[in-house]
Chains A and B, each alone.
Chain A
C-alpha cells in the first residue's frame, strides 16, 4: 500500500451569498496516495474545483478536516498555508495564468526563486519540451506552449503533488495531448501525485483512479485496470 498523501474527512464548503447558501461541497471523504494519477470528473458546479483549491491550500473549508500526510491543513493559518503551497504543491490552471511581462524562463523562475530545492528553470522547460522557447514572452507562444510553461513552472520546485484544474480546457485536442503527455511524463519520472480536474471524460482513461463528483459529493470511484497512453486518447 503506497503512502497516504491527502486525506479528507467530511469536508463541506458553503458559499453564503446572503440570500441563499450554496453547498459547493457537502461532506467529502477522500484519500489520495503517493504517485497516484487521479482524474476528478463532474459537471460544472459539482464541487471538484473547490476540492482542488482546498487540497492546494488556496481555500478554507466550512466544516470537516483535511490532512496532507501528517499535517492537518485545516489547522493552518494563512502563513502556514502559504508555506505549505510553497514547499509541496504545484498548480496548473485552465488559463495558464502566466505573467505576461515575464518570459517562459522567468515565469518558471518565479517559482524557483522561492522554493527550497528547485530544479533549474531550463531543466523544467526541457521536461515539457520547451527548451527552445525559453526566452519567449507568453504572447509569443501558442496556448499549448503556454500551458506547458505553466506545467514547467508547477514542477520546477519538485512538488510532491501537482494539482491541475482543467489543464486542457482551453486547448484543441492535438495540443491538449502534448500537455497530457507532459503531465504523465512528470508523474512517471518523479512519482508526483497528480490530480487532474476535467470535463473531458476521455482523459479518465489515462488515470490510475477516477473520482466522479455530483452536487458536491463523490458519486463514484473506480480504478483503471488498463491505462491508455495520452497519444491513444481521442476527443
Chain B
C-alpha cells in the first residue's frame, strides 16, 4: 500500500464521527431512493408483465342485457383487437362458520373453458367443467382469508335462489389486483370474493342466456381509445349500456396506478434534498481538512506529487464517506423495500411480484451518491490543486474581518465580546452560515411535511365518517328498486333507521371538459348519509340543481350558478342542462349530488332506490346478517363500523411508521449539519478558544461561543423550515390527490412546535458532544501548535 493511501485511511479513521454523520444523511437519500424508485420500478414492471401475460383488457363496459351476437359488431370497431363478453352478477354469500354475510361478485367462465382476455391464473385445483352448475373458481385471497380448501362448499344467493357452490380451484386475475367491495374503503378479502362460474350456469341464474352484461376489449397499439369508447357506447346504448371506461377508471388499476405515481414522485422529490445536504456537508468538511493540511499539501507538491495526485487524494476521502453512506443506504433501503413489499403483498394480489429491487436502483443510487460527494468536495479540492507549493507552506493569512453596517448595529447593542465573536464569525462566513441554516431548516420542513398528515387524516375521518356517513350498514341492491323496498328493509331484524339513495352513472360536461362519475341522489334532510359544505354545514341540493365536490367543480371549471351538461348513462340515457347549486368539501372520491324528487321529475318516473343506509341495534347484528343471507336482489352489504375501524387502524399504523421514519431522518440531518458545523468551528477556533481559557474565561463562557453559533443558526432555521415545510406539504397534497381521494392541508401549531422541538433538541445534543471535546482541550499544546 502506498504511503498516501495509508494517510487516506488514517485520516478517514480520525474523522469517523464527522464522516459517519455525513454518511448517514447520504444513506437516508440512498435508502429512500432505493425504496421509492426501486419499488416503483418493481411494481411498474410487474404490472406490465402481468397485464401482458394475462391479456388485461384496455376498455370495459357494462350493459343491462346485450345479445351475444353484438360481439361480432363490437369486433368490427376500428382498433379493436379482441373482445370478450361475459355475464356478471352480485350475490350475498353465506360462508360456513361466518355469522356475517359476505358479498360475492359472480363472473362467467367462457363456455369454451378458455379466456381470451383478463385471463385468470390458476393457482390451485382445476377449472370447473363447463356443463356443471355448482362448481366455481374463487380468487385466492378470498379463499385464503376464509381458510377454504379445494372441495369446500359455501352458499350464494344468486338472484334470489340460494345455491351451494363447490370450490374446484383458486385463481388470481389481473382485473383484481386490488379489490374493494361495493361501498368499501379498504380491501376486505374475507368479506368480498370474486367467483368464476361456468357461463351457462351464470346465464341461467341471472336470466342472461344468449346475452351478456359486461364486455372487455383489447385494443391494437395504434387504436384511439376515445373513439373506441364512443363507438362501443353507441353500440351498447339500445341494450341499456351503462358505462364504458378505460383502465384509468378500472378500480384495481386506478389504485395501483396511484401507488406507482406516488412512489415515483417520492423518488423524485425527496432524495435530492438529502443529496444536496450531503454535498454541502462534504464541502464544509473537506474544505476544512484542506485548510488544515495546507502545509502538507505544499510538502506533497514539493516532493513531486502532481496536482492530479492531490486532487485524487482528497476526492478519495470524500469518496470513502460516500461509500459508507451508500452501503448503509443500500442496507436500509433493501430492508425498507422488503417491509414495503410485505405491505404491498397484503393489498395487491400479484401472482408474482418482482419484490426485489432491480440492480439499476442500486447502481443509480451508488453513482448519485459518489457524484454527490465529489461535487461537494470538488471546489475545495481544486483550490488545493491551485495552491502554489511555496504559498501552501507558509501559514495562511488571517481571515479578514471587516466592519460593516451590521457590525455597527451589533456594536450599538453593546453585546459582550463572546457574543460579538459569534456574530462576527457568522458574518465572516455568510454562505456557510446560510447553508447551515438551510440544512437545518430542511430537517424542520421534512418534519412539518410528514406530521401534518396526521391532522389531515383526522379531518378526513371526521368529515367522512362522523359528519357525512353515519350509517351502520349500507345495503346495495342488484336492480333499481321501488321506494317501497325501504319498508322491507325496516322490517329486517335490528334495523332502527333506513334511508334510500340511488347512484346514476353520468358524464358531466362543461365545454371541452368532461368527467364520468356517479351522481348520488337522496331525499331531503337525510340523517345518515349527509352532504357537508366547506363550512361544515349539512346541505341538500335543490330540486332543480346539482351540487359538486370542490375537486370535481375545479376539474370541470364550474362554479355555483353555472350550468353544466349531464349525459345520464343509464335509464333513459337522456342529456340535461343542470345548474350547479353549490360546491361541497369531500375528501374521498368525486361526489355529485341531486335531489331524488328533482331527478325523478327529470326522468318522468317514480323515485328509484339502489342503496339503503341503515342504523342497527347492536344486539341484533347476527339476526340482521342471517336475514340478509336470505334476502333477494341484494348485491352487497357494507358494515360501516368495520370499515371505519379498518380504515382508522390502517392509517394510524401508517402514520406511526411515517412519523418514526421522518423523525429519524430529521434527526440525522440535524446531527449531520450541527455536529459538523460545531466540529469545524472548534477546529478553526481552537487557538482562539484556548487563548480565552488562558485569559481566564470559564469553560461555560467558552462553550457559549462554540455552541452559540450553531444554536443561533438552528433558531434562525425554524421559521424558514416552517415555510419550506408548508410548501412541501402543499406539493404533497397536490401530488397525492387523485380521483380516489383528496388530502386537505391542515396545519396546526402543534405540527410546527413538534418539528422545532425535535430539530432544536438534536442540534443541542450534537453541539454538546462537540463541547465535550472542548473540555478536553490541552491548552498548552494548542497554543504551541503552528497554524
Contact = CB atoms under 8 A, between A and B. Distances in A.
Contacts of B307: 78, 82
B557 interface: no
Interface string B296-330: 10111111111101000000000000000000000
A86 interface: yes
A82 B301 CA distance: 7
A110 interface: yes
A109 B309 CA distance: 15
A4 interface: no
A102 B7 contact: yes
B414 interface: no
Interface stretch (A64-72, A111-119, A195-203, A213-221): A111-119
Contact of B4 (A95, A110, A115, A157): A110
A110 B299 CA distance: 10
B388 interface: yes
Main secondary structure of the interface of B (DSSP, over half): helix
A227 interface: no
B778 to A, nearest CB: 12
Interface string B49-92: 00000000000000000000000000000000000000000000
Interface stretch (A35-43, A52-60, A128-136): A52-60
Contact of A101 (B14, B298, B306): B14
A111 B303 contact: yes
Contacts of A89: 302, 304
A102 B6 contact: yes
Interface centre among A109, A113, A157 (most CB of B within 10 A): A113
B390 interface: yes
A87 interface: yes
B727 interface: no
A93 B300 CA distance: 13
Contact of B11 (A53, A101, A106): A101
Contact of B302 (A79, A83, A85, A106): A85
B421 interface: no
Interface in B1-54: 2-4, 6-7, 10-11, 14
A107 B3 contact: yes
Nearest to A109: B3
A114 B21 CA distance: 34
A106 B2 CA distance: 8
A97 interface: yes
Nearest to A165: B393
A54 to B, nearest CB: 8
A91 interface: yes
A102 B303 contact: no
B304 A87 contact: yes
A120 B303 CA distance: 16
B385 to A, nearest CB: 9
B167 to A, nearest CB: 72
Contacts of A114: 303-305, 309
A14 interface: no
A153 B298 CA distance: 15
B295 interface: yes
Nearest to A101: B10
Contacts of A153: 303
B388 A59 contact: yes
A99 interface: yes
B500 to A, nearest CB: 83
A93 B296 contact: no
Contacts of B10: 101-102
Interface in B701-741: none
Contacts of B610: none
B16 to A, nearest CB: 13
A83 B4 CA distance: 18
Contacts of B309: 114
B451 to A, nearest CB: 44
A93 B6 CA distance: 23
Nearest to B2: A113
A102 B4 CA distance: 9
Interface residues of A, number: 31
A78 B2 CA distance: 24
B271 interface: no
Nearest to A78: B307
B403 interface: no
B302 A56 contact: yes
Contact of A79 (B14, B295, B306): B306
Interface in B673-713: none
Contacts of B302: 56, 58, 85, 89, 91
B14 to A, nearest CB: 7
A106 B393 contact: no
A82 B306 CA distance: 6
A217 to B, nearest CB: 20
B389 interface: yes
B303 to A, nearest CB: 5
Interface in B357-389: 388-389
Interface string A180-206: 000000000000000000000000000
B786 interface: yes
Nearest to B306: A82
Interface centre among B2, B295, B303 (most CB of A within 10 A): B303
A53 B302 CA distance: 9
A147 to B, nearest CB: 14
A113 B3 contact: yes
Given A85-B304, A86-B304, A114-B304, A99 B390 contact: no
A132 B201 CA distance: 98
B479 to A, nearest CB: 84
A97 B295 contact: yes
Interface centre among B296, B301, B305, B390 (most CB of A within 10 A): B390
Contacts of B7: 99, 101-102, 106, 110
B2 A109 contact: yes
B3 A102 contact: yes
A50 B388 CA distance: 13
A59 B3 CA distance: 26
Nearest to B305: A114
A50 B296 CA distance: 19
Contacts of A95: 295, 786
Contact of A58 (B2, B6, B306, B388): B388
A110 B300 CA distance: 8
A111 B303 CA distance: 6
A109 B1 CA distance: 10
A22 B306 CA distance: 30
A79 B303 CA distance: 13
Contacts of B393: 58, 93, 97
Nearest to A110: B3
A106 B6 CA distance: 8
Nearest to B309: A114
B2 A93 contact: no
Contacts of B304: 82-83, 85-87, 89, 111, 114-115, 157
Contact of A53 (B2, B295, B300, B390): B390
Interface in B261-306: 295-296, 298-306
Nearest to A105: B3
A230 B80 CA distance: 103
7 contacts: A58-B301, A59-B388, A82-B301, A85-B302, A109-B3, A111-B303, A157-B304
> Which A-B residue pairs are the 9 nearest by beta carbons?
A86-B304, A109-B3, A101-B10, A59-B390, A58-B389, A53-B390, A97-B299, A110-B3, A58-B390
Given A97-B296, A101-B10, A114-B305, 20 more contacts: A58-B301, A58-B388, A58-B393, A59-B390, A78-B307, A82-B305, A86-B304, A89-B304, A91-B299, A99-B299, A102-B7, A106-B3, A106-B6, A109-B2, A110-B4, A111-B303, A111-B304, A113-B2, A113-B4, A114-B304
Interface of A: 50, 53, 56, 58-60, 78-79, 82-83, 85-87, 89, 91, 93, 95, 97, 99, 101-102, 106-107, 109-111, 113-115, 153, 157
Interface of B: 2-4, 6-7, 10-11, 14, 295-296, 298-307, 309, 388-390, 393, 786
